[in-house]
Structure 1
């Protein structure tokens, strides 16, 4: 199975590659449109800031390529957010694959921004979460979030509910870091590879 990991000079790519290798995959880090189109699965990890990430995608022509992919696709953290229409982070237009606007968390006395650390998943739907329950926890690091909508396949809260995972057709996204989420994250990556 050919596994492609999108290379747009975003952060946290190496830990995603290691997580896939631990599952027996041999992922290819690439920005080559043909390699991405021919892959059986595509992962889109992200760490950083929306406008810089979109600028890098545009510079590589990937903003035109990624929306045309038809194989199972998984966006992780910022990679999930970039699937949306727009981000409040630096007023950034994004890939436009899912109908949400990314919003900034509001900080209060008990809920700081960024939302960082372990939090549980709720309202799980779809094949990514096979074998998991609402008691399972994953690791988040983010200041922005996608609101809950018809595309939401898992939720978490900080303090209000937000989309912990989304799906539209072959495009899946998770707001948390699968590669930092222990056995639960490993199970989700394995479920994705099984799609």
Structure 2
């Protein structure tokens, strides 16, 4: 899976790979992970450029309500749900794709029909470090075994739902990945999850 020396070009007529740059993302670590796989990504908050992209990555770190406000400032809250190409939300990006979040009483993009809630009182938060993913149900996890370890950093989670494509147990079972049509989301950080994370990113990029 060493693709470092094989630079990937976007398909003819496509807009390449775009990482949404809205001021709330772990963009550099994602760019480095993609570069290790041989892909160059464009950073953009331009609606037309995002619409024309071949693939879109929607990152996110930080607090939900302030991140959503940044989306609104650029009008991207209306653009993202209408995208037709494969879209991957990562961490807070995935959470913002849900109906809403208890964090800051935030209304989400309602792509995934599930709410984001805080871990119960008494549970150490954030969950920070490695945990396993199970019940894998999507082409996103092609070639990934059950109970592989991925890297987590979060205090809120999406519950289990019809769109759950991977589960994790941290005092409660929750959705560590979601999928619906062309939209995918991972609560974990594939860009920080070693070879397993690279395989998941590669699966997404090859959709």
Tell me the TM-score normalized by structure 2: 0.91
1:165 aligns with 2:177: yes
Which residue does the alignment assign to 1:129?
Answer: 141
Per-residue deviation at 1:169?
Answer: 0.7
CA distance in 1, matches of 2:89, 2:199: 16
CA contact (8 A) 1:107 1:113 kept: no
Q: How far is 1:135 from its partner?
A: 2.5
Aligned pair count reads: 193
Mapped to 1, the partners of 2:58 and 2:190 lie a distance apart of: 12
Which TM-score applies when normalising by structure 1?
0.97
Partner of 1:99: helix, strand, or coil? strand
1:79 aligns with 2:97: no
| CA-to-aligned-CA distance 1:71-104 (integer Å, 9 cap, x gap) | 0000000000001111000101011111111000
Which runs of structure 1 show a deviation greater than 2 angstroms over 4 or more consecutive aligned residues?
A: none
Structure 1 Cα separation of the partners of residues 204 and 100 of structure 2 = 26
The question of whether the paired residues in 2 share the 8 Å contact of 1:106 and 1:113 is answered with no
Could you tell me how far apart the structure 1 residues matched to 2:110 and 2:71 are? 13
Gaps of 5+ in 2: 1-9, 11-15
Q: Residue 76 of structure 2 aligns with which residue?
A: 62
Unmatched tracts of structure 1, length 5 or more:
none
- The partner residue of 2:158 within 146, 152, 156 is 146
Shift in Å, 1:11: 3.3
Deviations 1:39-68 (A, max 9, x none): 110000110110001000000000011111
Report the aligned-residue RMSD: 0.8
